[in-house]
Amino acid sequence: MKLSARNQFPATVRVVTEGAVMSEVVVEVDGGHELVAAITAESARRLGLAPGKRVVAIIKSTEVILATDD
């Protein structure tokens, strides 16, 4: 499967916090950055997300904001 989404980062699940509707999933992107995803709790269950599970974090380019220091 090839996705139009430009940003796809292989990562490992570190922490899953489950709510009634949404779950927060903290993953560690290969190379060391931590990344947080808020997905439905149902999706987290369906994908079997748990610490150690390998995933890909996908982000569409229109969702990225850039900032400068000055």
Residue 38, interface with its own copies (CB under 8 A)?
A: yes
Determine, following the binding rule CB under 8 A, whether residue 56 of this chain makes contact with its own copies: yes
Alpha carbon of residue 41 to chain centroid? 13
* Burial of residue 62, with CB atoms counted within 10 A of its CB: 0-12 exposed, 13-18 middle, 19 or more buried: exposed
Indicate which single residue of 28, 42, 51, 52 sits in contact with its own copies (rule: CB under 8 A).
Answer: 42
Burial class (CB in 10 A: 0-12, 13-18, 19+), 4: exposed
Kindly tell me which of 38 and 51 has the beta carbon lying closer to its own copies: 38
**Residues near its own copies (CB under 8 A):** 1-7, 9, 17-25, 27, 29, 31-33, 35-40, 42-44, 46-49, 53-70
